[in-house]
Structures are given as C-alpha cells and as structure tokens.
Structure 1
Amino acid sequence: MATPRFDIIGQALSDASRTRMLCELMEGRSFTNKELAGAAGITAQTATAHLRLLQDAGLVVAEKRGRCVFHRLAGPEVAQVLEQLAGIAPTDSLYRAQRHKAKDLAQVRSCYDHLAGPLAVAMTEALLARGHLRQDNGGFVAVAGPVWARLGVALPTATSRKPFVRPCLDWTERRLHLAGPLGTQILTQALAADWLRRPSRGRGLVVTQPGLRAFHDILGLGARLERINVTPPREDA
C-alpha cells in the first residue's frame, strides 16, 4: 500500500507567500501570475517559482488562454482541505492578517464553488432544523422536497460514488456549512437570481434585497440575517 506523501503537501504550505496565493485562489476564480504575485506581495518571477511548486504538489493547475496563463485550485477537494486547515491554523501574524482581511467578507463569501461564512452556516442549520437535511455518519443527506427547487437544486436520480452533499468546516465560524454539488448549485442559483452579487475581485459576496427576501421566504432567515449583520445594497444601486 502506497504511503501518502504528506511531506510534499507540507512543503507546499510552508511558505507564507504560497499560502497567500492559495487564499486568493480559494475565491474559485482563476488568476494570472501577475495578479497572484500582487496578492502575495512578491515579484512575478518569485510567484512563478512558488506556483510551480504548488502545481507539483497537486494543489494548483495552470491553463493557457490566449497569451495568458491562468492558475486555479486543482479542485473543490483542495479548497475544502484549505478551509478546514484555516480553522485549526495557529494564531500567528499571518493568521491574524488573514482574519483582518476576512472581516469584510466573513459574513457572506465563497469557498471555491460554494457558500461559506455565517450566512452559509445559518442556511445549513435552517435546512437541518426544517428536516430538509439529515445528518448521517458524519455527513449530510438531502431529504426530497419542494425547498430544493426553490433553491435551484436538482437532487440526483441515481446513486453516485461521490456524495451529493458533504459538510465543510467553516474557518471563521468553526461550524459546518454545505459543500459538494448541492452547495455548488445553491451558489450558482443565488448568483443567477441576483440574490448575491460577486464583486470584481475577492471572495466576499453581497446580499441583495431580493436575496434577503428569498432567504427569508425559503428558509426563514430574516432574524438570522440581522444577527450576522448583512447590509445589502439598495434596489436601485
């Protein structure tokens, strides 16, 4: 039986510049070498060397589009592991800096391809409380019902080896939110329906007035949204 090479992953995560670039990529979008260098506060040449190491570790992939090369996380599994590692990371200066950076996006943000932050946790807890989700062997199972169509989710009609919904530990809340294809569909619907808006850059998302109404009408999140201090833009903004 092959032994997992944790040492390779550990080396990839052992540099502060590389972790800053990974945090930037957790937004779920692709970035150029120059953009990631700016996020990490290093030169483009240094960023190239770091990105090569991250690619060798299987954490990042590169795709050439026209004249530019874009980098992204290798997949949602990588984002989930990074999110969980952030939840147990020591409170050193880098961690505090990331927490400070997160203060504006901590309420509503994306974790690669699904929602994260207090809003995502509140949605998960509401779905559990209303019986739309149930816990099973440390994971989640979606219970068929009309709520899923309202959230833009199409439940699978056949079984699959990969779970349709899985728990992801939120690094600021230290509680679970939804990941997997179900979580991806909810985020996709929220953006398409203009319940959430994504800024030009960053993981932070903005809740719109239609989004406030939708989250309240579908999941009864009115009071919870007030507690997590969501401040959506005006309708005409």
Structure 2
Amino acid sequence: MTTPRFDILGQALADASRTRMLCELMEGRAYTNKELAAAAGVTPQTASAHLRLLQNAGLVLAEKRGRCVYHRLAGPEVAQALEQLAAIAPTESLHRAQRRKAGGLAEVRSCYDHLAGPLAVAMTDALLARGLLVEDQGAFRAVPAGDWSKLGVVLPTGSGRQPFARPCLDWTERRLHVAGPMGRQMLDHALAAGWLKRQAQRRGLQLTAPGRRALEQILGVRCDDLLAGVAAG
C-alpha cells in the first residue's frame, strides 16, 4: 500500500505567502512570478523559492510562454481541495468571521473554474429541490429532465473519466455547491450571457440585473433577498 505524503503537502501549505499565492491561482488563471510576488507581498526572488516548493508538492505547474513563465494550479482537484481546507481553517469565530475575512468575495466568486459563494449554494439547492440534481453516494448526479440548455449545460451521453457534477464544500457557506464539468459550463454560460461580470478583485464576480432576472425565472433563486442577507451577515 502506498502511503500519501501529507507531510510534503503540509510543508507546502505552512507559509502565509504561499497560501496567498495559491488563493490568487484559485481563480483558474495563470500568473507570472512578479504578479504572484506582488499578491503575496514578497520579492520576486522569494516568490521563486515559494513557487518551486509548491511545484515540488504537485500543487502548481509552470509553463513558459514566450519570454514569460506562467504559474497555475495543477488542476481542478487542487482547487477543490484548497476550497475545502479553507472551510475548516481556524478562525476567530465561525460563519460570520469567514464572510468578513472573505470580504467582497463572500458574495459571488469563482472557485477555479466554477461558481462559488452563497449564489452557487442557492443554485445548487434549487437544482436539488427541482429533482434536476440528485445526491448519490457522496456525489451529484444530473437528471436528464428539464431544459438544461437554459443554464448552458450539456449533459454527457456516456460515463466520463471524472464526475460530471461534483460536490464542492463552499469555504464561506460551509455547504455544497456544484463543481466539475457542470459547474464549469454554468459559470462559462453565465459570463457569456452577461449574467455575471469579472471584477478587479480577481475571484470576485458581479451579478448583473439580467442575471438576477434569469436565475429567478429559471431556478426561482431570489437573488436580491439572497445577497441582502449576505450583506447583513
């Protein structure tokens, strides 16, 4: 039996500068050494040492494009693991403290390649309530009923190598939202349809007026009440 090397992962995560870099990369984009150094508040030389350690732990990949080397997370499974670790990370209190620490990210944000935050949880709850999504042995299963195209979802015709709809524990909400290919399709569609817009804060997203109307019509999600509750919390 092969023993997982949790000690290597632990060493990689045991530094605030490295965790800040990983949080930047959870948006799903790739960044240069200098960009990540600025985000972490360290020099480019220090950032290079941190990034080598993250690469050796299998958390980050480096890719050369022209004269620049770009760094990105090794894959969506890394982003999911980081999001779930964030959900159990120590904090001064529980739910409200996590939202305060997240700042604007608590409302609507991306988690690598899918939607996260209270809006993502509300959409997942609505899909479960309508029977379009079913919890099945710790996983989500999409039911081929209804008009999935309204959400930009194309259901697979066969079994793929990874779960199509994967549950991901939300960092601030401590509840499940949809990840995997389905989560990626829904986020891509929401951005393409103008329901969501990217903000200057890299993982932060803005829900537009058309997006509020569409999600209420399609899923019955009352976005105004939802986000007002987040602000009050």
SS in 2 for 1:110: strand
Matches within 5 A, 1:55-204: 55-91=55-91, 100=100, 102-204=102-204
Q: Is the 8 A contact 1:105 1:204 kept in 2?
A: yes
Shift of 1:200: 4.1
Aligned to 1:234: none
How many angstroms apart in 2 are the aligned matches of 1:12 and 1:63?
20
How many angstroms apart in 2 are the aligned matches of 1:141 and 1:147?
16
Shift of 1:65: 1.3
CA 1:97–1:118 in 2, change beyond 3 Å: closer, same or farther? closer
SS in 1 for 2:17: helix
Aligned to 1:226: 225
How many angstroms apart in 2 are the aligned matches of 1:27 and 1:229?
24
Shift of 1:225: 3.7
User: What runs of 5+ residues in structure 2 fail to find an aligned partner?
Assistant: none
How many angstroms apart in 1 are the aligned matches of 2:101 and 2:207?
19
Q: Is the 8 A contact 1:32 1:68 kept in 2?
A: yes
Q: Is the 8 A contact 1:147 1:218 kept in 2?
A: no
How many angstroms apart in 2 are the aligned matches of 1:214 and 1:135?
25
Q: Is the 8 A contact 1:166 1:179 kept in 2?
A: yes
Aligned to 2:44: 44
Instruction: Tell me which moved more, 178-187 or 145-154.
Output: 145-154
Shift of 1:148: 1.2
Q: Is the 8 A contact 1:33 1:70 kept in 2?
A: yes
How many angstroms apart in 1 are the aligned matches of 2:148 and 2:7?
41
SS in 2 for 1:211: helix
Aligned to 2:17: 17
How many angstroms apart in 1 are the aligned matches of 2:30 and 2:133?
32
Instruction: Tell me which moved more, 206-215 or 115-124.
Output: 206-215
Q: Is the 8 A contact 1:107 1:229 kept in 2?
A: no
How many angstroms apart in 1 are the aligned matches of 2:167 and 2:140?
7
Shift of 1:139: 1.2
Q: TM-score, normalised by structure 2?
A: 0.92
Instruction: Tell me which moved more, 180-189 or 153-162.
Output: 153-162
CA 1:97–1:46 in 2, change beyond 3 Å: closer, same or farther? farther
Task: Indicate the RMSD between aligned Cα atoms, in angstroms.
Answer: 1.9
Q: TM-score, normalised by structure 1?
A: 0.91
How many angstroms apart in 2 are the aligned matches of 1:97 and 1:146?
38
SS in 1 for 2:178: strand
How many angstroms apart in 1 are the aligned matches of 2:65 and 2:24?
20
Counterpart of 2:226, as a letter, is R
How many angstroms apart in 1 are the aligned matches of 2:5 and 2:67?
34
SS in 1 for 2:105: coil
CA 1:100–1:48 in 2, change beyond 3 Å: closer, same or farther? farther
CA 1:152–1:133 in 2, change beyond 3 Å: closer, same or farther? same
Counterpart of 2:61, as a letter, is V
Shift of 1:88: 0.4
Aligned to 1:3: 3
